[in-house]
Structure 1
Amino acid sequence: MPTKQSGKRLRVPWRKKLGENDLPVTLPVFMAYCAVAGSLRSWNRLGTKSIVTLVASDDFYYPVFAEAARFFASQIWHSLRFHGNVLQWSDKNFRHEAEALRDERAILFASPLYEIQEDDRLLSDAVVPLGPRSARHAEAALRRAGLPVTSENVSLLLTEPWSRLSRAFQDRRSPLQALERLRSLPKPAPAPVADGVAERTPSSIGPTLSHMHGFGDLIEWGYDLAKDIADFRAGIIPWRDVETGVLISGPPGVGKTMFASALANSCAIPLIYGSASRWQEAGALDAHLTAMRKSFAEAMEQAPSILFIDEIDVIGNRVETDRNSAYMRAVITALLQLLDGFERREGVVVLGACNHPDILDSAIKRPGRLDRHIAVPLPDAGARRSILKFHSGVTMCTADYELFDLATEGLTGADIERLVRDAKRSARRQSQRLNSEHIVSNLRPLIKLPEAYLRALAIHEAGHAVVSYEVGHSQVSCMRISRHKVDGEIRELGYVEYQLPVPQRRTRQFFENAIATFLGGIAAELEVFGSFADGAGGADGADLNRATDLATALEGSLGMGHTLVTGRFEQSESSNLRLYLPELRREVHDILETQLARARATIRAQRPALDAVADRLLEAGELAGEEVREIIGHHRRSIVSLAKPSRRGGM
């Protein structure tokens, strides 16, 4: 397990690859081992000398965790010197303490009912919370045991009391026999365990970061914060080294509130909810400020903690000059005072959430306050599938997933959760177990596109790819067309994703190549069908709109047109510039006309490559960039380079 370079162990056991978990422990002990190793990450070094106390939550069973801790200790401490110094504080006696001091190593558990004394803290190098078992631990244990990683199996491992898991999974039984035996016997009512505390399942704890899907960089930030807070509580780092403020933004329903709850659970610290709109509902200014200060005070009392400020964009900014501006300036000033300085809120991480971060006062986003901003996008296809699996436990076939991906495009996690609720209701009405048919039947109605329409889509997207290849603007990384559309909804049914090969100088030629690439789809339609469809223009992200805005910037603000005069370019104002400046409108028209002619010439010259890409896209539905380049390279004709278009007079 240890690496050869640094002597460090793998940071967490559940991230190991299959085949590496060759451990002589039972399945529940391995789950507990994951929790112990996660809490003791900072001590995952060979030869570490430390006496550490793990403070257990209600989800605790000493016999299992003691065995897990012994295995963890045997991996990081020399086996000849380790005498099994894994103890409960309630059972610790003078001999045990003497052995721990002699060996300079021990792992001590404080059960939920045990109150740690000052002498206990003096003996311990660190007092660290022991996190509860999670879905990630259960999945890792199932993989190691060679059992199917299904939602039913994961749920069973998370909801069964530790004592029953320990009795079911024994060395003399195979893991599959133990799992079946556990299912076959009825689950008794919760009973007190040996220390007088009834076991509580993790379902009462709520989601952790391992349950979150589609949050991108926010998840990595959350894991880093959990590690920093654990290091702070262990006395390894001061609070000033912990990032104490972040702003997250995204459309309603993407799961910002659920993420805050999962973050607090993963950090094993309290979550205090402080909605800006609820503060405002308190009424007059004094009541508003009192409610806000009360939330911060509560977070300080429970520190370390997370203060979640929902709808923080309601506060606005101090630039506004309406009749409420004086009121809101006072609120913003008070919030800045509460956010400033690590001493004033040591132990409190402030997590602000909003839909419109651009309207938030810039002072709130300065360093030392909410200086990191992470946007939460709508979940992509992979994330939507994971959200579906989390809420339903259903795995669908490829064809059903294709329908699901299309029908749920643009939906949030909350929308998918509602979809699963509807599907479960349908299954109950039919007295059936939830399956993919119930989910598909509750999707938004889909219309299968006719072959002629699909052919036009494929020609359009292939035109972008061929022109981009020929002018050398960028490389295609992926292209796709949809075979269905959502009834009554206007959306993109095909797209090409690009990747710039290397950083390059953004000259006039660079922008002309980009405009030609944007117009490649229209050029292909004109050459093949003699006309192009309305999807190429009108919407903000349509090909013709993007090409027009780029040509406007080229002529009107970048100094690369007929004059070196530049100006600040706002995309929202580009249409007004063209409307009120006839000369600029003519220049933009000339650029578009020139680049369209260039793109059409490219399509004519490379018609075999266009048809080959379109045929393959029509067949597969999605192509990787490498395959696109291979097809074009195989079918293209050698012609004079079109990368440098002829200049107009005077240029």
Structure 2
Amino acid sequence: MSRSKKQSRAPNSMRRYVFDSIIKRALREHSLFEAGGPGFLVLVTPEGYSPSDYQSSVLDQLYDDDRFYRRDGVGCILVFLTDKSSKFEDEYSECCKRERVIAVIERGVELPPIIQLAADLVIHIPPITPDDLKAAARAVVRRPMTDEEAETALSYPREHLWAAFRPMRSIGEAMRRLREVEVNSPVEGTDQVKMRSAPETPMLAEMHGYGPAKEWGTQLATDLADWKAGTIDWGDVDKGIVLSGPPGVGKSIFARALAKQCNVSLVASSLGRWQSRGHLGDLLKSMRADFDRARNNAPSILFIDEIDSFGSRDSFDHENANYSIQVVNALLECLDGLDGREGVVVVGATNNTDRIDPAITRAGRLDRHVEIPLPSAADRIAILSQLTAHSIPVSDLLRLGTLTRGMTGADLAKTVRDGRRLARRERRELTLEDLKAGLPEGTKISGEHRWGIAVHEAGHTIVGIQLGYGTYIRTNIADVVRPDLKHQPGGAAYFDIPRVARRDRQFYLNCVAVMLAGLAAEKLYLGDFSDGAGGGEQSDLAVATRLATFLEANLGMGASFLHSNAQTDQELEKLRLSDDALKARVEKILADQYERVEGILESRRALLELLAKELDAVGLLTPQRVRELESSLEDRGSFNSQRKGIS
């Protein structure tokens, strides 16, 4: 007999969409029941959730097939912790002859033996996840929600959550309402559902991966404390900063952690939130109100997310230019403030600093710029340890260093959430394997591949030391790489190069030579070189070509004193393509330095082999170990060349 399901209703609330989705996923564990077949399922709610939360969604699933089943052929049972123990058996006795039955029981209710025997499957419903909220936002509110917004939203009581997220209301406005409405704690002794408390944001000093931004923030905390104590003037405190960095590095979390570190109030907003209030007059009124609120609560931090969305007045050439100019001018007035903004530190966040109006970053406004980088390997491990509440030994987490390369703090948080979900499903504690399950697959570097990388990096090491490229630190090769990343080196030689120094033409030629040393080492020892030196903006060939072009076209150290403003690889490539003479000079620099490097490595071939073997076996070279290996060759008389600069 063919069956046709009812046409699905369009979701009319976030709450309904979320619980419908969760019930549909839960029923997939019983494929026959999901397909409309008979069965008796027991669904156990997560801790803190009521069976009544799921009632409407369960009834929809049961009655969705009423053209096939009679209304008295299906049944729904709800059992609460406060119910008498006999209720479950009584309700089941009424439904036991029905073909499709779902019992939703509250976590902690003990299943009677008769139910354990009768149930086809007992399914533990997972709690609402940030992904559930994001999907509901797209379907109901018709707006995207970030991971951070979803996680924060879930920290509020659920009834507040559903009330705040109304159809066609912006995500920013809903989040603002949640923040500003006071959440009262449940009264002891009532039947109010116990809610999970909001996750506490640690102080900035306890967080990892923020680099120079963290240093600035901790110094600001000291300065604000001194200002409150009257030991320094407000003029000695940084009044504004622009934080930049790729999406997901945690700029919003930084603002909360900064406020906690400084022990001051936080006012968070954005142009999008201000615009959601209505026309231009409403926008400007809302913007000024937030600045007033920050002043009234001084000392405070006013966080403006996506500050680049204001744009630059120099580029406004559209029909709404007058509107945009008025918005930027109003922000500048708020930053300056006729009454001043003593005690208010403004923090702007952006993914694109080039789009910010220069007047916003002028001295006295947001005049400091700090970039939040992607977390280093050490930071990623520390973040994972913090997110997992230190439940997994750091020595074990170290194995995830390479697999998490390129990940932001938000990516790592998602990895932990996915791992916890897997552990909950199997009713056990979180393990390292749970975290690895959500990470991209790694490929082990071994055999000829590892040997080729070892030779390549040994070449960089020898030439860098020989030419005094900088202070040699170490050389290492990775055990595992991530094939999904666009550019991931299998190894690297590290040198500390002074930021401030006299740099002449020979310095840049030496830099080009070091970049080409890996290729030359492979060609000398292996007979040919692989594709590992090219393919990305930071590859050896890209850096060497960029430096050679700068020499000839930007720095006045080539055949002409003419200067070009070209900076990016795309701009430099256009410059070379439009000037055949320049292209020929760049190619000659590269060829000459490659030949120069070949001579250096040929004279130290025995050391090249020894360093490569050490890297292949151990994966690491240190300055001391390089000196030891070099001395062993000298003792054996394997080479007589002296370490000196080569011009």
TM tier, smaller = 0.5 to 0.7
| Structure 1 contact 225–243 (Cα < 8 Å) conserved | yes
How far did residue 283 of structure 1 move? Answer: 4.3
CA distance in 2 between partners of 1:627 and 1:204 (Å): 47
* Structure 1 residue 274 corresponds to structure 2 residue 269: yes
The residue aligned with 2:614 is 616
Q: Deviation per CA, 1:196-254: give whole Å up to 9, x if none.
A: xxxxx997753212331111222222222222222333333333332221111111111
The answer as to whether partners of 1:341 and 1:368 remain within 8 angstroms in 2 is no
Counterpart in 2 of 1:587? 585
Q: CA deviation at 1:644?
A: 4.1
Alignment of 1:243-642 (within 5 A): 243-323=238-318, 324-340=320-336, 343-394=339-390, 400-490=396-486, 491-500=488-497, 504-572=501-569, 573-632=571-630, 634-635=632-633, 637-639=639-641
Deviations 1:127-154 (A, max 9, x none): xxxxxxxxxxxxxxxxxxxxxxxxxxxx
AA aligned to 1:545 is A
CA contact (8 A) 1:214 1:384 kept: yes
Residues 223 and 502 of structure 1: is their aligned pair in 2 closer, same or farther, counting only changes over 3 Å?
A: closer
CA distance 1:280–1:531, change in 2 (3 Å): farther
Cα–Cα, structure 1 residues 597 and 401, in superposed 2: closer, same or farther, change >3 Å?
farther
- Partner SS, residue 319 of structure 1: helix
Q: Is the 8 A contact 1:240 1:342 kept in 2?
A: no
1:630 Cα deviation (Å)?
A: 4.5
2:583 and 2:243 map into 1 onto residues whose CA distance is 40
Deviations 1:4-36 (A, max 9, x none): xxxxxxxxxxxxxxxxxxxxxxxxxxxxxxxxx
**Letter of the 1:456 counterpart:** G
Instruction: Compute the displacement of 1:514 (Å).
Output: 0.8
Distance of 2:548 and 2:305 partners within structure 1: 41
* Equivalent residue number for residue 57 of structure 1: none
In the TM superposition, residue 510 of structure 1 has moved relative to its aligned partner by 1.1
Contact 1:250 1:376 in 2 (8 A): yes
**Distance change >3 Å, CA 431–CA 550, structure 1 → 2:** same
Letter in 1 for 2:275: Q
CA contact (8 A) 1:509 1:644 kept: no
Which moves more between the two structures, 605-614 or 219-228? 219-228
Identity across matched positions, percent? 39
TM-aligned CA deviation for residue 502 of structure 1: 9.2
Q: Cα distance, 1:400 vs. partner?
A: 4.3
Q: 1:361 to 1:350 in 2, by over 3 A?
A: same
Structure 2 length as normaliser, TM-score?
0.65
> Aligned equivalents of 1:598 and 1:261: distance in 2?
54
1:326 and 1:234 map into 2 onto residues whose CA distance is 44
Secondary structure in 1 aligned to 2:555? coil
- Name the CA distance, whole Å, in 1 between partners of 2:276 and 2:633: 67
Q: What is the DSSP-based 3-state SS (H/G/I as helix, E as strand, rest coil) of the residue aligned with 1:362?
A: coil
Give the letter aligned to residue 299 of structure 2. Answer: P
Partner amino acid, structure 2, of 1:442? G
Q: Which amino acid aligns with 2:618?
A: A
CA deviation string 1:39-59 (max 9, x = no partner): xxxxxxxxxxxxxxxxxxxxx
C-alpha RMSD of matched pairs (Å): 2.7
Deviation at 1:508, TM superposition (A): 1.5
Matched-pair contact (CA < 8 Å) for 2:242–2:347: yes
Counterpart amino acid of residue 612 in structure 1: L
- The residue correspondences of 1:137-148 to structure 2 (distance < 5 A) are none
C-alpha distance in 1, partners of 2:633/2:498?
22
- AA aligned to 2:380 is R
Inter-partner Cα distance in structure 1 for 2:284 and 2:409: 33
- Whole-angstrom distance in 2 between the partners of 1:502 and 1:309: 32
The number of equivalent residue pairs is 450
CA-CA distance at 1:402 after TM superposition: 4.5
Report the counterpart of residue 111 of structure 1 in structure 2.
Answer: none
Call closer, same or farther: CA 1:342–1:618 in 2, change over 3 Å.
farther
- Judge conservation of contact 2:205–2:218 (CA < 8 Å) in 1: no
Unaligned runs of at least 5 residues, structure 1: 1-188, 193-200, 646-651
Q: Is the 8 A contact 1:476 1:628 kept in 2?
A: no
Deviates more, 1:405-414 or 1:440-449: 440-449
Q: How does 1:144-155 map to 2 (within 5 A)?
A: none
Of 212, 220, 232, the residue aligned with 2:215 is: 220
Structure 2 CA distance for aligned equivalents of residues 203 and 331 of structure 1: 34
Q: Unpaired segments of 5 or more residues in structure 2?
A: 1-185, 190-195
Following TM superposition, by how much is the alpha carbon of 1:537 offset from its aligned partner in structure 2, in angstroms?
Answer: 1.6
Indicate if the aligned counterparts of 2:423 and 2:430 stay in contact, CA closer than 8 A: yes
Structure 1 residue 397: Cα displacement: 6.2
Equivalence for 1:89: none
Counterpart-to-counterpart distance in 1, 2:270 and 2:510: 48
Q: Distance in 2 between matches of 1:471 and 1:242?
A: 44
> Structure 2 vs 1, CA of residues 641 and 346 (structure 1 numbering), >3 Å: closer, same or farther?
closer
Instruction: Report Cα offsets for 1:278-329 as digits up to 9, x if no partner.
Output: 2234443222222211211121222221111011011111110330333222
2:226 pairs with 206, 219, 231, which one?
A: 231
Question: SS in structure 1 opposite 2:602?
Answer: helix
Distance 1:235 1:590, change over 3 A: closer
Contact preservation (8 Å) 1:467, 1:603:
yes
Q: Distance in 2 between matches of 1:487 and 1:634?
A: 38
Alpha carbons of 1:236 and 1:561: their partners in 2 closer, same or farther (altered >3 Å)?
closer
Q: Give the residue type in structure 1 aligned to 2:332.
A: L
CA contact (8 A) 1:395 1:436 kept: no
Deviations 1:83-114 (A, max 9, x none): xxxxxxxxxxxxxxxxxxxxxxxxxxxxxxxx
Report the CA distance shift for 1:290/1:453 in structure 2 as closer, same or farther (over 3 A).
same
Q: Distance in 2 between matches of 1:254 and 1:498?
A: 27
Deviation, 1:632, is: 4.3
Matched residue, 1:34: none
Q: Displacement of 1:593 after TM fit?
A: 0.7
Q: Distance in 2 between matches of 1:503 and 1:241?
A: 27
Q: Which sits farther off after the overlay, 587-596 or 271-280?
A: 271-280
The one-letter code sitting in structure 2 at the alignment partner of 1:575 is E
